[in-house]
């Protein structure tokens, strides 16, 4: 029996890390395998989901938006209504409970849009743990509101100035911290990326999204959806809603990547659309790279999608054709941001706006009996200054 076979999704995944991290990763794997089947652990997590985070989140029938776009039915999975304003809390609650049982006293994390940083700072405060968040210098500037929230929650926010000052660079710094402090520190990765067991573990903690969608559609009198759409940066919210429906072949799964301002000139974050396989941050997956194999800079108006890599399970799902990945430009995302705000009174995160934009295209082709679910992964409070700047509106 090959002990490493569960490290991979097809040929993607693995553990490409310094030797000093192999034992901590094995310790984490053993802890996760133990506690994911432990009734006491699962009951505590369920209680936190319900009484602390506010789950289940609603599945909202977007009737007005649907009428404006076509004949089909559009539902929004309202992850923006979670405590802290995004899906990220699902994963941070699960991982902080693991950290607690592993005896760790210090939590570190990376963040781009700031939502994972806020969720990590939140659970660290809840469990009285020291918390350090690594964030790119450029992202700190465009996500000032979330930086302030993290500090209010008691976290130290460390600005990363190396490289392009983005999410990739924040991950680099967090890994270096972890290498130096493995005994005391738990690295709480925010997306379905990194070395095994993180992609598997993050997906599992986020899969409550899809599980709820299945049950909520039944209660709404619907059968299986025809389409499920989610934005894709590292890939956690998408895997969270896709995983439950992978075996339902009639359900079309669509991921919306950050198309930026130019697919031709490299000003994008469309890793699966434009990238190729390579190794980044401890695992093999698709990534953006130059002809010499070096990681290329990424760009998206959305800080949470501005990442040159992708989770290994997404890479596998692309190659098998089970999920279709498409790019959405900055301008399309901005249009969707305003559309949902004005037609439904819901202000989406710029990340989620990419999924809304792709859903709007699909809606134009839907038949009356067809159903689409769009994962509204986060709320847009954090993005109002960025949007105002791009559309020329004063605040």
Q: Active-site positions?
A: 88, 110, 377
Q: Where are any strands of DSSP class E within the chain?
A: 8-9, 12-13, 59-61, 73-78, 106-111, 130-136, 156-160, 185-187, 227-231, 252-262, 267-269, 276-280, 283-287, 323-329, 371-376
| Upper half-sphere CA count for residue 127 (Cβ side, 13 Å) | 26
d(CA 139, CA 116): 13
Q: Which two tokens stand for residue 210?
A: 């899809």
- Sheet strands side by side (includes 106-111): 156-160, 130-136, 106-111, 185-187
Residues 6+ apart with CB under 8 A from 201: 32, 94, 95
Q: How many CB atoms lie within 10 A of CB 334?
A: 19
* First-last CA distance in the chain: 61
Output b/e per residue, 27-44; b: 16+ Cβ within 10 A: ebbebbeebbeeeebeeb
d(CA 350, CA 46): 29
DSSP track, 327-367: EEEHHHHHHHHHHHHHHHS--B-HHHHHHHHHHHHHHTT--
Q: Which two tokens stand for residue 3?
A: 């002990």
| Cα Rg of the chain (Å, integer) | 19
β partners of residue 132: 108, 156
What 3-state class would DSSP assign to 40? helix
Instruction: Give the C-alpha distances (Å, rounded to integers) separating 361 from 51, 76, 91, 257, 393.
Output: 37, 15, 30, 14, 26
168's torsion region: left (phi>0), alpha (psi -120 to 50) or beta?
alpha
């Amino acid at each position: 029996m090959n002990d490493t076979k569960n490290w991979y999704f097809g040929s993607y995944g693995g553990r490409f890390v310094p030797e000093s991290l192999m034992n901590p990763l094995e310790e984490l794997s053993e802890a996760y395998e133990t506690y994911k089947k432990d009734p006491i652990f699962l009951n505590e997590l369920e209680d936190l989901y319900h009484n602390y985070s506010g789950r289940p989140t609603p599945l909202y029938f977007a009737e007005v938006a649907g009428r404006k776009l076509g004949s089909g039915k559009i539902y929004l999975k309202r992850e923006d209504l979670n405590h802290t304003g995004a899906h990220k809390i699902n994963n941070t609650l699960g991982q902080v409970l693991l950290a607690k049982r592993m005896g760790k006293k210090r939590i570190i994390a990376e963040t781009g849009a700031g939502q994972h940083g806020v969720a990590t700072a939140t659970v660290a405060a809840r469990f009285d743990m020291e918390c350090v968040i690594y964030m790119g210098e450029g992202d700190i500037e465009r996500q000032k509101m979330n930086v302030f929230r993290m500090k209010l929650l008691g976290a130290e926010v460390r600005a990363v100035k190396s490289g392009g000052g983005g999410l990739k660079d924040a991950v680099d710094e967090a890994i270096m911290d972890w290498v130096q402090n493995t005994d005391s520190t738990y690295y709480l990765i925010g997306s379905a990326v990194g070395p095994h067991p993180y992609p598997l573990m993050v997906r599992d903690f986020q899969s409550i999204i899809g599980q709820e969608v299945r049950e909520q559609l039944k209660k709404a009198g619907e059968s299986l959806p025809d389409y499920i759409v989610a934005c894709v940066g590292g890939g956690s919210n998408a895997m969270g809603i896709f995983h439950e429906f992978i075996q339902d072949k009639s359900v079309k799964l669509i991921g919306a990547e950050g198309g930026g301002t130019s697919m031709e000139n490299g000003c994008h974050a469309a890793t699966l659309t434009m990238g190729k396989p390579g190794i980044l941050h401890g695992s093999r997956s698709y990534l953006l790279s130059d002809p010499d194999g070096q990681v290329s800079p990424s760009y998206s108006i959305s800080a949470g999608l501005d990442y040159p890599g992708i989770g290994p399970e997404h890479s596998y799902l692309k190659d098998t054709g089970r999920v279709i990945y498409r790019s959405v430009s900055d301008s399309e995302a901005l249009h969707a941001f305003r559309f949902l705000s004005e037609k439904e009174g819901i202000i989406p995160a710029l990340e989620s706006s990419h999924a809304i934009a792709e859903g709007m295209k699909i809606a134009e082709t839907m038949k009356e009996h067809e159903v689409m679910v769009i994962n509204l992964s986060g709320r847009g409070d954090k993005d109002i200054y960025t949007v105002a700047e791009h559309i020329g509106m004063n605040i």
